[in-house]
Chains A and B, each alone.
Chain A
Amino acid sequence: MSKKQKRMLYRIIASAVLLLAAALLPLEGWARVPAFLAPYLIIGWDVLWRAARNISHGQVFDENFLMALATVGALCVGEYPEAVFVMLFYQVGELFQNCAVEQSRKSIAALMDIRPDYANIEVDGRVEQVDPEDVEIGSIILVKAGERVPLDGRVTEGSSTLDTAALTGESLPRPVRPGDEVISGCVNLSGLLRVRVTQPFEESTVSKILDLVENSSAKKAKAEHFITKFARYYTPAVVLAAAVLAVLPPLALGWTWTDAVKRALNFLVVSCPCALVISVPLSFFGGIGGASKRGILVKGGNYLEALAHTETVVFDKTGTLTRGVFQVTAVHPDQYPEEELLELAALAEGYSEHPISRSLKQACHEPLELRRVSGVEEFSGRGVRAVVDGKTVWAGNDKLMEEAGAQWRPCHHTGTIVHVAVDGLYAGHIVISDQIKEDAPQAVAALKRLGIKQTVMLTGDAAEVGEAVAKQLGLDQVHTRLLPADKVSRVEALLAETSAKGTLAFVGDGINDAPVLSRADVGIAMGGLGSDAAIEAADVVLMDDKPSKLAEAIAIARRTLSIVRQNIGFALAVKALVLVLSALGVSNMWQAVFADVGVSVIAILNAMRALNAGKT
């Protein structure tokens, strides 16, 4: 508890004791006035003072004024104990609310506590701790085991494993060796690392993420706008209703003036808008905080809202659903063993740096002895011919096989096919293709379970390749052979198909798809770790490159939104109920205070559940 809060606690205790004494003492008539006024002033002087001051500033309908008016009114009609109790209860509620908000603020801040406090620099053989902001590009910093990497850089010495959980939500540690890039915010788990700094602190990943999450409360969701607007009309309306209630019924229905005024005073207490106004942004903030803990960065409450209403998900293929790296996926030999066919092809292509040659070389288990190869000739766009161990090996596409005079046969697999012929005889073929990410099928299945109406894939690839991937993953639609501009028009067409409330999310790797990312209702970039372009262009950033995180993001968004709805519904319902009961004369001022502060505390506690959203 802060000093301020402690002082308030003492005031509450003092006032409560005096109130109890005043209520128990056998006081009669005017003696009651000072006895109750003392605890009232102890607990309420600051409310009265603020009410008076704010009116002089032209701020009429604030909480202080309403509470002051209600309790002073109660004192005037002779309800001394009630006036004191209401003020006491109000202050207790405020204190509790204050603590709850501070607590939640702290737990959210703790979540995002990835800011490094210092960086170790070696000066004349001694290690010095300096502010990360003072470290220049090119300096060598030391990261000891257990420390947080303070700045983005490249490892020059040492190897270790890094815990990236704070950034990606991924619990599996990532190994690093000299030459690897390291990203600020990760925790060094084992060895000592020397890192050459490549980014100043302001440009480092950690600063960018913190900036993004802090700024996220600036982009308000519709629900937030609704509630602040609502509060602006709600308070004056209820105050007006209170005035009417105090004056009309005694004139028209013959109520006593005291009775009418008492009911009206209840209205004033209920008219405070804080419960509503606080719970909505707090829920969104909690949801965004909870998502960032799981490696999902959401740039604002509005995007969380849009994500919850996702109807169509459009994926880019390469790098999003597939790894974007070519690999040998099948070897179909005709007369040689598999290993040998692969080796022959890899040797023939041994001197080439073509991506296909590289994937062939990667697929071989044994190191290649390139001195076995001679007389290499490349046929652009078709393949190569080389002499390996005295045999003439042809490796390439079907056209090259025609030239070699080999009887080639087609393959039922999709991908790039490398045919091999040895001394004019067909030896078989090797299939090279981009691989689907491990969790991509799960990702699509999870989206279907969440009730996403359409899953679409867009790709610039050939029809067979794209369709094969789409079929394997169970996607609803696939559009192939698209140029970047075609992708935009496709997304526009799909946008037109979504219903008025539904939204379209586009998921890409953030490279080359900035126009589509911005055109979609929610642009989601994957593999944000280390990619500035992705973090800039997208509305939502999935820090690691797992497409399955998308379903998780949507689940978090939906849960947050349902908490927001619960809070709005609950607060409005309780307030409406107490208003009706007050008008009928059934409810008293204590219940009215509960409808104000009690409801805000409950709403705050409920909002905090958003922090844990997405745990299933």
Chain B
Amino acid sequence: MKKRFKLVDLDCANCAAKMEEAIRRIEGVNDCTVSFMTQKLTLDAEDGRFDAVLQEVVKTCKRVEPDCTIVI
């Protein structure tokens, strides 16, 4: 399943790259892009446990770039 989320206060391009890298490593994530330009996160994760994966993604985001929040 693929879903797109808006990101608020994503202020630096390198942080976006780091977030993307970290989210990709989460188990259950098939693919992920964090676009600094559109301020959007596209998450492609396993269907069955999308919500669980999303929780993990939010946690990762908090760790890598605490200023940035994912709008769900």
> Which residues of A line the B interface, CB within 8 A?
50, 53-54, 57-59, 62-63, 98, 105, 108, 214-215, 217-218, 220, 228, 231-232, 273-274, 277-278, 281-282, 285
Contact = CB atoms under 8 A, between A and B. Distances in A.
Contacts, number: 56
Contacts of B33: 217-218, 220
A278 B33 CA distance: 15
Interface string B54-72: 0000000001101100000
Contact of B11 (A98, A228, A281, A282): A98
B17 A277 contact: yes
6 contacts: A54-B66, A105-B39, A231-B14, A277-B13, A281-B37, A282-B37
Contacts of B39: 105
The secondary structure that dominates the B interface is mixed
Interface of B: 4, 11-15, 17-18, 21, 33, 35-40, 42, 63-64, 66-67
B13 A281 contact: yes
Contact of B12 (A214, A220, A274, A281): A274
B64 A59 contact: yes
B42 A218 contact: yes
Nearest to A288: B37
B21 to A, nearest CB: 8
A217 B35 contact: yes
A215 B42 contact: yes
Given A214-B40, A215-B42, A218-B35, A231 B63 contact: no
B11 A231 contact: no
A511 B42 CA distance: 30
Nearest to A109: B38
A278 B66 contact: no
A477 to B, nearest CB: 39
A215 B40 CA distance: 10
Contact of A281 (B15, B18, B36, B64): B36
Q: Which of B4, B38, B40 has the most CB of A within 10 A?
A: B38
Contacts of A232: 21
A58 to B, nearest CB: 7
Contacts of A62: 14-15, 18
A183 B35 CA distance: 29
Contacts of A214: 4, 38, 40
Contacts of A278: 12-14, 36
Given A50-B66, A57-B66, A105-B38, 6 more contacts: A108-B37, A214-B4, A217-B33, A217-B35, A277-B17, A281-B13
Nearest to A104: B37
Contacts of B40: 214
A32 to B, nearest CB: 33
A110 to B, nearest CB: 14
Contacts of A285: 37
Contacts of A57: 63-64, 66
Contacts of A218: 33, 35, 42
A217 B64 contact: no
Contacts of B4: 214
Nearest to A59: B64
Contacts of A220: 33
Nearest to B17: A228
A50 B65 CA distance: 10
A551 B68 CA distance: 41
A271 to B, nearest CB: 12
Q: Which of B12, B13, B21, B67 has the most CB of A within 10 A?
A: B13
Contacts of B18: 59, 62
Contacts of A54: 66
Contacts of B12: 63, 274, 278
Given A53-B66, A274-B12, A105 B37 contact: yes
B56 to A, nearest CB: 15
A196 B63 CA distance: 51
Given A57-B66, A63-B12, A217 B37 contact: yes
Contacts of A59: 18, 63-64
Contacts of A228: 17, 21
A-B complex: 5 closest residue pairs judged by Cβ atoms: A278-B13, A217-B35, A218-B33, A277-B13, A277-B14
A228 B12 CA distance: 13
Contacts of B36: 278, 281
Q: Which of A57, A215, A218, A220 has the most CB of B within 10 A?
A: A218
Contacts of A53: 66
A108 B36 CA distance: 13
Contacts of A105: 37-39
Contacts of A63: 12, 14
A319 B3 CA distance: 36
B5 to A, nearest CB: 13
Q: Which of B17, B42, B64 has the most CB of A within 10 A?
A: B17
B47 to A, nearest CB: 19
Given A217-B35, A217-B37, A218-B42, A274 B13 contact: yes
Q: Which of B17, B21, B37, B39 has the most CB of A within 10 A?
A: B37
Nearest to A46: B67
Nearest to A227: B17
Given A57-B64, A57-B66, A274 B37 contact: no
A265 B36 CA distance: 29
Contacts of B17: 228, 231, 277
Contact of A58 (B35, B37, B63, B66): B63
Nearest to B31: A218
B12 to A, nearest CB: 6
A218 B16 CA distance: 13
A186 to B, nearest CB: 24
B54 to A, nearest CB: 18
A273 B39 CA distance: 19
Q: Which of B14, B15, B17, B63 has the most CB of A within 10 A?
A: B14
